[in-house]
């Protein structure tokens, strides 16, 4: 296999025709193969280091009825952060890229925004200035670009964008830049009766559009930052839901635990994350009785993906910050830190990503 | 079988010992038997009238791959209102009874409430005055009695109460006053690959305490009126969630559709309700493509349960109102109206309710 981070190794025609034959992002959301039993050894893309051993041992400990750590199937809940844990989050969260790219269309509808910040900066196309936008400015952009339309319109627009948008480094659809080792963990957990949930700071509606296809995770198992909706009737008398610029759930930090309580109603047995935004979710999981498994993905592989921290002296990052304090808390509590560089044999799926295996 | 509405027909000792042997309300929430395959003909407690035929035909139409109305298993979502649809809601919602009974304990903790309305009226014990409390007064009572504690404390208190509280008419635990025909519908739907959800105006946390045991519906499949929670740390450093007096989701009327979008993310194929609070949920279900099934339970059986409307000239009711306008909308749209009196052979499970079958 050619190195995946070499764009020249990807046959664009094969990718595009695959996409045309099996549209990743149109309904139905779900492919039967996504939940199929895995043949052979589990976790083949993991090196035989501590994290792989911990995952395999945890699954044995919770599914073997003769062991005191046995967990009944209906209580097997596993939660996964998305950005940086299941797929690439650098150099910018996919949803933020989408929101920024929607600004011109929104300003065409609402010309009064043209000279108002932060929209003015986005329209300028000045990438350096855009990179300096604060979190509250980005939130303003997200609110204006991703609400005020019906849920159906939102879904159709976002699907269309995801079909054509490409990651700047690999020039591949964002939906293909998922971590092969994590797809194997999702599969192994489900093969052993765990319900797999995404618990993401990203927009719940946005992630639901692709989560079934690329992870085998149905919409009701995606917990994310959620805006309110409003029920109304169209001119034809048919009801529809409008996305409102009203934050219902900020699914970051402690909000992840609150979101888990709201949407799942029980404490998970497994939690995977990669940043300070996942800290409380891992603490909450860890505080349960019996066997619990907590892991954090450390991005220390600049060659195959990215390296950022600032844990362990890695470069600081505005996206998916993994601080030294989080690293220390992990070590102190016995949470596994996964080194992408040393613990993952492969980072991405083979070139024919998406066919058959998900 | 003796008539179920004759309290003398119930052997209290059998009931109590059954409860002692298989505690309905303690962890684990889930009994394996609740999801077991049903032997024999489905829906035995239904008379062979139009609603039963409609349910059976709908399930055939959506599960037979050769028919154009086929629905893939992962899209099979069925939603059920709870109060008045799955269990008895008269003369007062169970959760409201619970909140009222908690008032003395709460006032003992917060004596300043003693002379403040509506708490003063509740403490007076004057049942007529209590029956006149307005919805906003009841909401004040619910907020004060059911929040401000940790989620674990709430669950423990509510479980304890449900074990001893009895319905005034049948002198049986509320959790036994479930409708046998609806248990059979839940089972039949699940046997055919439908995911069954409760979508209730009642409190999400409250309903989750018993839904797995009595309906086979796990916490993550209970959508209800939800208060926010707040993450914090105890003196021992352990994290816990506190229930806040902050309404996140008012899961009534249009709020049911908004709750379905938030928690399930897809349009249901089946919706059961019994009151104006379910109208939008049925409209939303009906507005989808292909085969959809909408039903409303009409309480017209004063002998075996209750009769209230005011649809079809039944007595008006403050609890679970089924207006003539809703009745007319149902007829116009082809929604089924289930007559408890004529369509249900039995209303409640046999006396040994709770054993083996749920």
Question: Among A28, A74, A229, which would you mutate to test the B interface (most chain B Cβ atoms within 10 Å of its Cβ)?
Answer: A74
Q: Which tokens in the block code for residue A347?
A: 């980072």
Query: Cα(A102)–Cα(A98) distance, rounded to whole angstroms?
Result: 6
Angle, in degrees to the nearest 10, between helices B94-109 and B135-146: 60
Q: Which tokens in the block code for residue A239?
A: 């009801």
Across all residues in chain A, what is the average pLDDT? 88
Minimal C-alpha gap between A26 and chain B (Å): 14
- A265·B28 Cβ contact <8 A: no
> Does ipTM surpass 0.90 in this model?
no
Mean pLDDT score, B312-323: 93
> Which residues touch B76 (CB under 8 Å, ≥6 apart)?
B62, B189, B192, B193, B194, B195, B269
- A220·B249 Cβ contact <8 A: no
Minimal C-alpha gap between A249 and chain B (Å): 9
Across all residues in chain B, what is the average pLDDT? 88
Half-sphere exposure of residue A168, counting CA atoms within 13 Å on the CB side?
7
* pLDDT tens-digit series, residues A39-92: 689 999 999 999 999 999 999 999 999 999 999 999 999 999 999 999 999 999
pLDDT-derived band at A351 (thresholds 50, 70, 90) equals low
Query: What is the pLDDT, as a whole number, of residue A39?
Result: 65
pLDDT-derived band at A22 (thresholds 50, 70, 90) equals very low
pLDDT-derived band at A38 (thresholds 50, 70, 90) equals low
**pLDDT of B25 above 70:** no
- Angle, alpha carbons B60-B64-B68 (nearest 5°): 100
Mean pLDDT score, B166-191: 96
Q: Please tell me which of the candidates B205, B254, B262 has its beta carbon nearest to residue A226.
A: B262
* pLDDT tens-digit series, residues B46-69: 999 999 999 999 999 999 999 999
* Helix, strand or coil, per DSSP, at residue B11: coil
- A265·B219 Cβ contact <8 A: yes
**pLDDT of B224 above 70:** yes
Chain A residues interacting with chain B (CB cutoff of 8 angstroms): 28-30, 72, 74-75, 151, 195, 204-205, 208, 212, 218-220, 222, 226, 228-231, 238-239, 241, 248-249, 254, 257-258, 261-266, 280, 283-284, 287
Asked whether B155 and B162 are in contact (CB, 8 A), the reply is: no
Q: What is the pTM of this model?
A: 0.88
- Rounded (to 5) percent helix, strand, coil in chain B: 45, 15, 40
SS (H, E, C) A117-128: CCHHHHHHCCHH
- What is the DSSP code string of A315-339? PP-SSS-B-HHHHHHHHHHT-EEEE
Question: Among A220, A229, A278, A286, which would you mutate to test the B interface (most chain B Cβ atoms within 10 Å of its Cβ)?
Answer: A220
Longest alpha-carbon distance in chain B: 67
Pairing of strands A222-233, A239-249: antiparallel
Asked whether A247 and A155 are in contact (CB, 8 A), the reply is: no
pLDDT-derived band at A356 (thresholds 50, 70, 90) equals very low
Q: Please tell me which of the candidates A230, A248, A254 has its beta carbon nearest to residue B248.
A: A248
Minimal C-alpha gap between A8 and chain B (Å): 38
* pLDDT tens-digit series, residues A284-323: 999 999 999 999 999 999 999 999 999 999 999 889 999 9
Q: What is the DSSP letter of A41?
A: S
* pLDDT tens-digit series, residues B188-203: 999 999 999 999 999 9
Q: Please tell me which of the candidates A151, A195, A222 has its beta carbon nearest to residue B261.
A: A151
Query: What is the pLDDT, as a whole number, of residue B351?
Result: 66
Question: Among B262, B271, B290, B294, which would you mutate to test the A interface (most chain A Cβ atoms within 10 Å of its Cβ)?
Answer: B262
pLDDT-derived band at B31 (thresholds 50, 70, 90) equals very low
Query: Cα(A79)–Cα(A85) distance, rounded to whole angstroms?
Result: 11
Nearest by Cα to B295 from B279, B315, B316, B319: B279
Query: What is the pLDDT, as a whole number, of residue A11?
Result: 34
Query: What is the pLDDT, as a whole number, of residue B135?
Result: 84
Minimal C-alpha gap between B352 and chain A (Å): 25
A276 or B352, higher pLDDT = A276
Mean pLDDT score, A156-174: 96
Query: Cα(B246)–Cα(B129) distance, rounded to whole angstroms?
Result: 27
> Which residues touch B317 (CB under 8 Å, ≥6 apart)?
B90, B308, B309, B310
Mean pLDDT score, A215-232: 97
Query: Cα(A98)–Cα(A95) distance, rounded to whole angstroms?
Result: 5
pLDDT-derived band at B38 (thresholds 50, 70, 90) equals low
- B262·A218 Cβ contact <8 A: no
Residue of B nearest to A244 (CA): B258
- B284·A222 Cβ contact <8 A: no
* pLDDT tens-digit series, residues B97-116: 999 999 999 999 999 999 99
Please report where in the chains the tokens 């699954």 appear, as a residue.
Answer: A59
pLDDT-derived band at B127 (thresholds 50, 70, 90) equals confident
B5 or B282, higher pLDDT = B282
pLDDT-derived band at A135 (thresholds 50, 70, 90) equals confident
Query: Cα(B254)–Cα(B247) distance, rounded to whole angstroms?
Result: 15
Mean pLDDT score, A142-168: 95
- B265·A219 Cβ contact <8 A: yes
Minimal C-alpha gap between B175 and chain A (Å): 20
- Angle, alpha carbons B158-B161-B167 (nearest 5°): 120
Q: How far apart are the first and last CA of chain B?
A: 19
* Helix, strand or coil, per DSSP, at residue A193: coil
Query: Cα(B181)–Cα(B349) distance, rounded to whole angstroms?
Result: 8
B351 or A112, higher pLDDT = A112
Pairing of strands A195-203, A77-80: parallel
Question: Among A216, A230, A261, which would you mutate to test the B interface (most chain B Cβ atoms within 10 Å of its Cβ)?
Answer: A261
Asked whether B219 and B212 are in contact (CB, 8 A), the reply is: yes
- Rounded (to 5) percent helix, strand, coil in chain A: 45, 15, 40
């Amino acid at each position: 296999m050619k190195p995946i981070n070499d764009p020249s190794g990807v046959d664009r025609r094969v990718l595009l025709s695959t996409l045309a034959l099996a549209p990743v992002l149109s309904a139905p959301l779900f492919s039967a193969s996504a939940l199929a039993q895995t043949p052979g050894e589990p976790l083949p893309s993991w090196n035989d280091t501590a994290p792989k051993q911990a995952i395999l041992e945890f699954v044995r400990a919770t599914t073997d009825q003769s062991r005191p750590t046995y967990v009944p199937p209906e209580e097997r809940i596993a939660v996964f952060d998305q950005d940086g844990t299941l797929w690439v989050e650098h150099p910018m969260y996919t949803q933020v890229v989408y929101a920024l790219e929607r600004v011109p269309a929104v300003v065409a509808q609402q010309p009064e925004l043209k000279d108002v910040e932060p929209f003015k900066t986005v329209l300028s196309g000045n990438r350096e200035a855009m990179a300096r936008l604060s979190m509250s400015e980005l939130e303003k952009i997200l609110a204006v670009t991703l609400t005020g339309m019906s849920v159906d319109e939102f879904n159709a627009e976002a699907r269309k964008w995801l079909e054509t948008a490409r990651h700047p480094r690999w020039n591949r659809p964002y939906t293909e830049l998922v971590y092969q080792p994590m797809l194997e963990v999702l599969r192994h957990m489900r093969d052993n009766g765990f319900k797999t949930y995404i618990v993401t700071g990203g927009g719940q509606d946005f992630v639901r559009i692709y989560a079934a296809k690329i992870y085998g995770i149905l919409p009701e198992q995606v917990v994310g930052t959620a805006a309110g909706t409003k029920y109304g009737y169209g001119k034809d008398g048919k009801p529809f839901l409008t996305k409102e610029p009203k934050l219902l759930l900020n699914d970051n930090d402690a909000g992840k635990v609150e979101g888990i309580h709201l949407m799942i109603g029980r404490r998970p047995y497994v939690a995977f994350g990669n940043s300070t935004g996942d800290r409380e979710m891992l603490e909450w999981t860890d505080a349960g009785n019996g066997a619990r498994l907590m892991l954090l993905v450390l991005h220390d592989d600049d060659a195959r993906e990215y390296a950022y921290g600032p844990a362990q002296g890695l470069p600081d990052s505005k996206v998916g910050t993994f601080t030294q304090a989080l690293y220390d808390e992990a070590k102190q509590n016995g949470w596994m830190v996964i080194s992408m560089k040393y613990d993952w044999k492969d980072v991405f799926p083979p070139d024919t990503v998406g066919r058959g295996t998900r």
